[in-house]
Structure 1
Amino acid sequence: MSHTSVGEAEVACGESEVVRTEKSTAALATRLVPVVLAGGAGSRLWPMSREHYPKQLIDVLGSDSLLQATVQRMEGFRADGSMVSAPIIVCGDEHRFVTSEQLRARGIDARIVVEPARRDTAPALTIAAADLCSEGDDAIIVAMPADHAIENLVAFHSAIAVAVQHAQRGAIVTLGVPPTRPDTGFGYIRLGSELGRGAHRIASFVEKPAAELAEQYLASGRYWWNSGIFAVRASVWLAMLRIMQPVMHDACVLAHAQGTHDGAYFRPGADAFKSSPADSIDYAVMERLGSDERFADGVVVPLDAGWSDLGSWDAVWEALDKDADGNAARGRVVFEGTTSSFAHSQGRLIACVGLTNVVVVETDDAVLVADRSRVQEVKSVVSRMRALQAPEVDAHRKVRRPWGYYDSIDHGERFQVKRIVVNPGGRLSLQLHHHRAEHWIVVSGTALVTRGNEEFMLSENQSTFIPLGVTHRLENPGKLPLELIEVQSGPYLGEDDIVRFDDTYGRA
């Protein structure tokens, strides 16, 4: 069976077409561009992961968030003269500021593509591929979910090196994880013919199996877990998508062509992007490889590097070091007569006594207690809470903003108290409220306050009052964080009672 090679791929990039010949492609240096897909929610890791601060942004395993760890994963990669360029991060509009802040904190230079809406991983990868092709760059993309964990980076780099060799010749490559147990929570890849260095052609993809079938897969040795990590040339991905998913291809390429730069962010055209079908990389392309002679070769390369998709609290327990009784903990935790359990404290002390196989996760405003064998049901609990309009589903008590953060430390009928921290140079929008007044007391730092037609400075232990309906703004002109206490009073204290007149960060 013949396969589409890199040299045969004719790719629509914006308004023009990039036609690559085998000769010109062979002359290209092997440039790798990590593409980090960071648009997920991860409700199974509630209460730490929430709609407004999802799984990839939390530090569930160590001092780095999962996003930070993923973006740094290709650092130091060396194979056959390959050159790793700055990554592309694809994320949602709501998370762009925190994503930028986390990258900046680790000194990471990246391009950030802001999705106008969630359309799953295939459109996200397509926008990144179109972005590379529009610059005349047919780099090899290494696409990675932002919320997985990999323990052994040396083994990971070895697997990527094999994947890149196949991607160079025009294959679409995924990394498969040799299973260590009959897990029903993963999709599987059935292995085809061997290609050397452990790689195989992809025979088929298999949905998450029942327990008995998962045991058969494990015993056969012919099935690997699907890691969701891919390597493919930008032009090959676009060529395959144009054949297999023409509506998605055209919508995403048009969205890129209509895109605009907004400071550090690239925004695809919203209407065009929203017209794309929503689909995953697996469903849109990978599961169809090999079924038609026009399609690229599908290859799976083994990844034996301590991989986990961290899809549940049980997976987090698996990934962490444990004591002699099989317990794993983060934060202030004490175990007594407890075995095979996991506890995570973000502040308060957790004491676990006489428990077995239990998960306890504490945050400022919610506590999860679950049987470790039933943690997949956390997603169902979140759905029930959403139906009840519980605010803990969407946001933490501490809410991050592009200028800093606020923490809602107390509230009652007609009042709310917040601790507000504004970063040096941070500037809140010029705004007013129809239903509440505000008192500001500076705890530390210096505040530049706009109140109506006035502009004045406040320092430590000074305060001011913002009457209902008066335009106002808070800025930090200093070099240290500004911390203040805000007391709100009024009949309605919702965050949607904001009318913005001017905003440094482009928020509506």
Structure 2
Amino acid sequence: MVSTSFMEQHPKGCHKKASLGCSAPAPFPSLPSEVRIVTFDANNLDTQDITPVVLCGGAGTRLWPLSRQHFPKQFAPIIGDKSLLQLTLERVAKLNISDQRSVICVASETHRFLVAEALDQSGVEGTVLLEPVARNTAAAMTLAALHAKPDTALLFCPADHYIPDTAAFTTMVRDAIVELDDSVIITFGVVPTAPSTAYGYIEMPPPGEKHTARPVSRFIEKPDVTRAHQLIAQGNVLWNAGIFLCRANALLNAMQQHAPDILEQCRRSMQVAAVDKLFVRPDKDTFSACRSESIDYAVMEHHSNIRVVPFNGIWSDVGSWNAVADLTTADTHGNRVEGDGHFVHASNTYIHAPCRPVVALGTQNLIIIDTPDAVLVTTREHVEQVKHVVAELDRKGRSHVAFHRKVARPWGWYDSIDAGDRFQVKRICVKPGASLSLQKHHHRAEHWIVVKGTAEVTRGQETFLLTENQSTYIPIGEIHRLHNPGKTALEMIEVQSGSYLGEDDIVRLEDSYGRITEKN
């Protein structure tokens, strides 16, 4: 579901690109168990910078087969050639009047390099707080608040929302900052355009005369159809967008009041956090003991000082393939396409075809999603059941639930283009200056053929260069490494042969990405 009304736009100037900064954050101070309260000058609120906190967790299944467990929807190129995370980073980078473009991302350890790549592509400097295990939004937001200075204005945004009207969004947030004090938490609600059952609702009193934000009367869970119609007729409700603005100490004070156990575990885990360039790792054992709860249940439904600001711009949580389709312009027959899709005597059909031609002949009300290793065809009415299909595939042990054929790695990517009995063929791309780990395999040999760029190969005790159309052979058990010494991407074909070709047959001896103890 998409809100289609518009808010008056107020441009804030041009968007200036900046390079990714990887300087380590300052060490974490030892924090007292009672949260510090810091005062600030309310007269300077309109010129203060906001630190966006992008919540990158979640591994939803409703956008399968594009979204997978190890490649969730926020990282997939759903809107053109950009991911929802990249679009979110570009949007929040325009919030500040100054040149500050620094953000905090809270993400899974599994997705750390996907987040780093999105930061690089968006030209935004950032710190990535890595959750060792998923503990929902209350813990994720608390980690960010502990990392920030106490009086910092934090804007918490999900990474997987689509808000194309950046000017309207920026104006809304900048106008709301004047409402902040040491205790208030501001949430943003979307003006509903239909009686949707996909979202929670926020009930509010009539508009005040002087304030942008209104008090929240109550939060309402996702309703059934009848209740949704009643809420829309009621008129004083908004869709709950899950976006929050507050000072760091205001959130920590609220956590101390309503969920002190979550705050304590997060605080202890951050006191001994490890810092590795742009990555910050809270202590795993301490954080794992934290209770898992959403911020709505932990704080918002209990806190006395919550206000809401209505948003009238376009917004979607991109929660289903119907929602994705609705973001695309329809032709005269109601057909919509992303990629190389073609319609013949078709109507109300959506095609997502980024890789190859897909033709819909004589179809009606269909959703067609094509990927290199899996295809989904469903009616619009059955889209919400995709998650049940994924659960069944998972029960059967199908790898398509977790992985794409093309797999992102910190050094680049590989694409498993063919496989059979005792062989596998991969296309490999290594970023300029990047290296694979120094490694060996117990069960497979490898043939490497360079098709583009220059490869520096370590094989046993020797190191040598390979250029386009040259190749080499890595015997079973031989220590080896691949490095790209050039300024352009290295592309090569790898042919594996042996009795076992699984990704867990990798013994890493040295690694630039902290994966010595990992199996893949």
Check the 8 A contact 2:101/2:124 in 1, yes or no: no
Partner in structure 2 of residue 3 of structure 1: none
- The structure 2 residue matched to 1:20, chosen from 37, 43, 53, is 37
Q: Deviations over 1:83-125 (max 9, x none)?
A: 8551111111111112112211222111111111111111111
CA change 1:222–1:389 in 2 (3 A) is: same
Check the 8 A contact 1:346/1:364 in 2, yes or no: no
Partner in structure 2 of residue 351 of structure 1: 359
Question: Following the alignment from structure 2 to structure 1, what is the Cα–Cα distance between the partners of residues 101 and 145?
Answer: 14
Partner in structure 2 of residue 471 of structure 1: 479
Q: Deviations over 1:47-75 (max 9, x none)?
A: 11111111111121123211111011133
Of the structure 1 ranges 121-130 and 58-67, higher mean CA displacement relative to structure 2 is found in 58-67
Q: Deviations over 1:317-346 (max 9, x none)?
A: 122211122221111111122222211002
Partner in structure 2 of residue 416 of structure 1: 424
Partner in structure 1 of residue 287 of structure 2: 273
- The structure 1 residue matched to 2:57, chosen from 7, 21, 39, is 39
One-letter code aligned to 1:419: R
CA change 1:191–1:82 in 2 (3 A) is: farther
5+ long unaligned stretches in structure 1: 1-11, 291-296
Partner in structure 1 of residue 135 of structure 2: 119
Q: CA RMSD in A?
A: 2.0
Question: Following the alignment from structure 2 to structure 1, what is the Cα–Cα distance between the partners of residues 126 and 168?
Answer: 24
Check the 8 A contact 2:93/2:124 in 1, yes or no: no
Give the match's secondary structure for 1:483: strand
One-letter code aligned to 1:48: L
What is the aligned length? 486
* TM-score (normalised: structure 2): 0.89
One-letter code aligned to 2:439: Q
Question: How far apart are 1:166 and its partner, in Å?
Answer: 2.2
CA change 1:13–1:356 in 2 (3 A) is: farther
**In the alignment, structure 1 residue 437 sits paired with structure 2 residue 453:** no
Check the 8 A contact 1:31/1:83 in 2, yes or no: no
Question: Following the alignment from structure 2 to structure 1, what is the Cα–Cα distance between the partners of residues 384 and 413?
Answer: 31
Question: Following the alignment from structure 2 to structure 1, what is the Cα–Cα distance between the partners of residues 225 and 52?
Answer: 35
Question: Following the alignment from structure 1 to structure 2, what is the Cα–Cα distance between the partners of residues 177 and 504?
Answer: 44
Mapping of residues 163-182 of structure 1, within 5 Å: 163-168=176-181, 170-182=183-195
Question: How far apart are 1:27 and its partner, in Å?
Answer: 7.0
- The structure 1 residue matched to 2:157, chosen from 133, 140, 144, is 144
Q: Deviations over 1:250-298 (max 9, x none)?
A: 01111111111112211111111111111111111111123xxxxxx11
Partner in structure 2 of residue 51 of structure 1: 69
Question: Following the alignment from structure 1 to structure 2, what is the Cα–Cα distance between the partners of residues 181 and 14?
Answer: 49
Partner in structure 2 of residue 87 of structure 1: 103
Question: Following the alignment from structure 2 to structure 1, what is the Cα–Cα distance between the partners of residues 380 and 461?
Answer: 58
Question: Following the alignment from structure 1 to structure 2, what is the Cα–Cα distance between the partners of residues 83 and 178?
Answer: 31
Give the match's secondary structure for 1:349: strand
Question: Following the alignment from structure 2 to structure 1, what is the Cα–Cα distance between the partners of residues 358 and 203?
Answer: 44
Of the structure 1 ranges 415-424 and 95-104, higher mean CA displacement relative to structure 2 is found in 95-104
CA change 1:452–1:142 in 2 (3 A) is: same
Give the match's secondary structure for 1:273: helix
Check the 8 A contact 1:327/1:340 in 2, yes or no: yes
Question: How far apart are 1:42 and its partner, in Å?
Answer: 2.5
Identity in percent:
44
Partner in structure 2 of residue 319 of structure 1: 327
One-letter code aligned to 2:131: E
Give the match's secondary structure for 1:248: helix
Check the 8 A contact 1:447/1:458 in 2, yes or no: yes
- The structure 2 residue matched to 1:374, chosen from 382, 398, 423, is 382
Partner in structure 1 of residue 213 of structure 2: 199
Question: How far apart are 1:26 and its partner, in Å?
Answer: 6.6
CA change 1:287–1:478 in 2 (3 A) is: same
Mapping of residues 459-498 of structure 1, within 5 Å: 459-498=467-506
Of the structure 1 ranges 414-423 and 333-342, higher mean CA displacement relative to structure 2 is found in 333-342
Partner in structure 2 of residue 222 of structure 1: 236
One-letter code aligned to 1:221: G
Give the match's secondary structure for 2:287: helix
Question: Following the alignment from structure 1 to structure 2, what is the Cα–Cα distance between the partners of residues 84 and 393?
Answer: 39
- The structure 2 residue matched to 1:234, chosen from 248, 255, 258, is 248
Q: Deviations over 1:361-403 (max 9, x none)?
A: 1011010111112211111111111111111111111111111
Check the 8 A contact 2:52/2:154 in 1, yes or no: yes
Partner in structure 2 of residue 153 of structure 1: 166
One-letter code aligned to 1:165: V
CA change 1:457–1:144 in 2 (3 A) is: same
Question: Following the alignment from structure 1 to structure 2, what is the Cα–Cα distance between the partners of residues 169 and 238?
Answer: 10
CA change 1:53–1:270 in 2 (3 A) is: same
* TM-score (normalised: structure 1): 0.91
Partner in structure 2 of residue 9 of structure 1: none
